[in-house]
Amino acid sequence: MTVNMRNDGQVGMLEDVTRRLAGHTHEIKHVEAILLRARIDVPVKTSFGTMYDRPALLVRITDADGCVGHGEIWCNFPSRGAEYKASLLVNEFAYWLKERRFSSPAEVFDGLTTAFAVLGLQTADPGTLLQVIAGVDQALWDMVARRKGMRLCALFGAPGDAVKAYASGIHPKEAADRVRLAREREFTAFKVKVGFGEDVDRAGLASARELIDENHQLMIDANQAWTSPRQAADNINKLSRFGLTWIEEPLRASATERQWQALKKMISVPLAGGENVPTLGAVDACQAKELFAFVQPDIGKIGGFTGLLRIFGGRDAAQPLPKSVFCPHWLGGMVGLAASAHLLTVIGDAGLLEVDINDNPIRESLANWDVRPSRGGRIELPEDDGIGITPDLAAMKEHGVHVTIMPG
């Protein structure tokens, strides 16, 4: 089923693009999964788990005329979740997609959402299916924009210059080294993970704050570490002296509105969340109720372009948006990062793009796109058509990245 929107102007923007695409029909011929795994020397640790390598799961869809589009499915956890999702893509989803004709990717998004709703119930795994749909949606919008000879943001009427970014994925025990590296790369905003214990959290933020000044932003991410508003508030209030722009996911994503509102009354630091909200309806409700000052759905976890644009609209929205700022979550490879940058641009470029500062050749070397800020902490969007990323799999192998293409 489709998501019921609150803002007719927002729906109109997507419908306008759909009308302009009606003159050409695509027929899907090939659906492939490209699974990438990069070895890393330093594991990436969060309060809930550790990544011992860096995976990326790309969707590659080719139409009958040979036009190709790429998207990316979130696949960081569990450790072999990417293989499972790749199998779903090239088996269950490909069966529905092959020889499917469409003008707008929104048609396919709605069709897949309806077709796989029962399987989500049957498997008790609807989130994984939504992630696959999100990757497919990215690939189809990439394909359509390439067919038009346009960058994706331009297809939606956004000029697409650059977006402000922040350095992410910083463990508190590595805060000094990572923040120093991020500053050398011209980042002006930094996010440190917390939830590892009071002493570790405080020491990490102290070392980060020593390296930045009032012209920089410092955020923290608890990765759902605390179980109650009181526990979260106690921890946040002890860390608030470090001058925080936001505290991200201090509670479980399943926390009730009442719990979030209770927490807001106990702290002075703005809340950020939405990365792990399970449905588009729930994302829409968070936005409507302004639960978070910074709202962070992940384009590879839920919605893709179609679903998230229906909620957040764009530059031409007829009515004012809620006060919360859209800051897309992303902690994967280059395709999803570029897709997030385009989405942020279309929605209005008020928020920040998350860029993982940990080593990851899949993010840094998959294509010819420099993901380092060039001016004022802003990263320029890729110059090529569509999302702007054409994966260089030979380069991946040269960097020691294991590449698997399904079907082989």
pLDDT tens, residue by residue, 12-55: 678 889 899 998 899 999 999 999 999 999 889 888 889 999 99
Q: What is the pLDDT of residue 8?
A: 42
For tokens 């919008």, the residue is: 141
The mean-pLDDT minimum among 44-53, 100-109, 220-229 falls in: 44-53
Q: Is 43 exposed, middle or buried (0-12, 13-18, 19+ CB in 10 A)?
A: exposed
Name residue, tokens 């993010």: 363
279 or 159: which carries more pLDDT confidence? 279
Q: What is the pLDDT of residue 260?
A: 98
Q: Which residues contact 36 (CB under 8 A, 6 or more apart)?
A: 55, 56, 57, 58, 333, 362, 366, 396, 401, 402, 403, 404
Percent helix / strand / coil, the chain, rounded to 5? 40, 20, 40
Show the beta-strand stretches assigned E in 15-161: 26-45, 50-63, 68-73, 101-102
Q: What is the DSSP letter of 333?
A: -
**pLDDT of res. 12:** 63
pTM of the shown model? 0.95
pLDDT, average across residues 368-374: 94
Looking at the predicted structure, is the pLDDT value of residue 132 above 70? yes
Write phi, then psi, for 151 (nearest 5 degrees).
Answer: -70, 150
Specify whether the CB–CB gap between 27 and 101 falls below 8 A.
yes
Mean pLDDT of 284-308: 96
Q: Is the pLDDT of residue 321 over 70?
A: no
Spatial CA neighbour of 54 closest among 67, 42, 66: 42
**What is residue 80's predicted lDDT score, i.e. its pLDDT?**
93
Structure confidence at residue 322 as a pLDDT band (50, 70, 90): low
Q: What is the pLDDT of residue 3?
A: 42
* DSSP string for 215-264: TSEEEEE-TT--SSHHHHHHHHHHHGGGT-S-EE--S-TT--HHHHHHHH
Helix, strand or coil, per DSSP, at residue 278:
coil
5 — pLDDT class (breaks 50, 70, 90): very low
* Mean pLDDT confidence for 126-133: 98
What mean pLDDT comes out for the span 84-107? 98
Instruction: Return the pLDDT at 139.
Output: 99
pLDDT of res. 9: 42
3-state class (DSSP) for residue 83: helix
- Mean pLDDT, range 137-147, rounded to an integer: 98
Distances (CA, A) of 333 to 35, 127, 254, 361: 11, 20, 27, 8
- Res 4: pLDDT: 41
CA distances from 181 to 219, 343, 357, 358 (A): 17, 27, 8, 10
3-state secondary structure 335-379: HHHHHHHHHHHHHCCCCCEEEECCCCHHHHCCCCCCCCCCECCEE
Share of the chain above pLDDT 90, in %: 87
What would the pLDDT profile of 228-282 be if each residue is shown by its tens digit? 999 999 999 999 999 999 999 999 999 999 999 999 999 999 999 999 999 999 9
- Up-side HSE of residue 275: CA atoms within 13 Å toward CB? 20
What integer best gives the mean pLDDT of the chain?
Answer: 93
Q: 10 Å Cβ neighbour count for 76?
A: 18
- The pLDDT value recorded for residue 314 is 54
